[in-house]
Amino acid sequence: MNTKMSKMWMQSAAIAAAAVLVFAGVPAARAERYESAGGDAPGADRAIGGGGHRYRAPLPPEAGAPAGRPSGGASRGGADVRICQSLTALVPSTREVGRNGREYRGVWALTAAAHPTLWFYIPYAVTSDEPAEFVLFDDRRRIIYRKQDIVLSNEPGIVGISIPESTPELEVGRMYRWNFQTRCGGEIVFVEGWIQRAELDSEITAEIDRARPLEQAAIYAENGIWHDALTLLGNLRRDDPDNLDVLEAWMELLEVLDLGEDEEEIVLTPITPAE
């Protein structure tokens, strides 16, 4: 754990000695169809837990990670700009170069779930007068799911938006685009990216079925399945916010993201159910 994260740990723990999270008995298996990204791939081979198990970023599609927007912004200046820009999708992003030679941010991650949950940090209140909206599209730009009238009473907050069981299952290997938007300072602020469903092989699935929730998160992270690892830890944080083992795992997983000066605020923000 780096110096900054260690400081955050000490600030959040009410005891003198921090608990050490060890994922015991987690196999070094990978999803059959997805190899780990190597070299300088952002987020590759990042530690999660004292047992040495790591989030291994999967290789992106052949055309590169699709373009997205991991953090918000505003088109005009003023006191609200800094807050508006802090709207953040809790998804890894990479620096990509398009065919035209221009750089862009690739925002893409895997799930093994047919109905996954996506997570967002909102640094301001979202009221019923100006609610947030989440939309999921397929690769033909058809709307698969839309959730409107999202309200966040706590400020700031982290919310998980779950795709309901009534929605058609995400197809393995297919790309889906998501968009989450709010109003900030009188303007629309949004983040967007892509999610793709992967199929885990039977050995990994069996290990997950036998494991405890924290161990399951480590297995997903080891195999590059970002959304499922984050959802397990997010739900544990929501249900048991004072659990130091869960907090440490949550902090270490979020180290993968380039959160900049908002890192401490985001990592320690409580999980807030969306209304």
Number of H helices, E strands in the chain: 7, 11
Gyration radius (Cα) of the chain, Å: 18
What does the pLDDT look like over 48-97, one tens digit per residue? 444 444 688 888 887 788 999 999 865 555 546 778 888 999 999 998 88
For the chain, which residues make up each domain, given as ranges?
3-9+34-268
220 vs 75, more confident:
220
Between 152 and 21, the more confident residue is 152
Lowest mean pLDDT among 52-56, 142-146, 190-194, 264-268: 52-56
In whole angstroms, what is the distance from residue 255 CA to residue 263 CA? 8
Whole-structure pTM value: 0.81
- Residue pLDDT, tens place only, 149-184: 999 876 789 999 999 999 999 999 999 999 999 998
The secondary structure of 238-265 as a DSSP string is HH-TT-HHHHHHHHHHHTTS--GGGHHH
- pLDDT beyond 50 at 19: no
User: What kind of architecture, by CATH, is found in domain 3-9+34-268?
Assistant: Sandwich (2.60)
Q: Rounded mean pLDDT of 200-221? A: 95
Write down the mean pLDDT value for the chain. 81
List the one residue out of 163, 157, 40, 181 whose CA is nearest residue 111.
Answer: 163
Residue 190 sits at φ, ψ, to 5 deg, of: -145, 160
- Report the pLDDT value the prediction gives residue 83, as an integer from 0 to 100: 84
pLDDT at 214 exceeding the cut of 90: yes
pLDDT score of 33 more than 50? no
Amino acid letter, 124? Y
> 3-class SS at 25?
coil
Q: Which residue has the higher pLDDT, 45 or 67?
A: 67
Q: Is the bond into 213 cis (omega within 30 degrees of 0)?
A: no
pLDDT in tens, 106-140: 999 999 999 999 999 999 889 888 899 999 999 99
Please give the share of the chain, as a percent, with pLDDT higher than 90.
53
pLDDT of residue 25: 29
Phi, psi of 161 (to 5 degrees): -105, 115
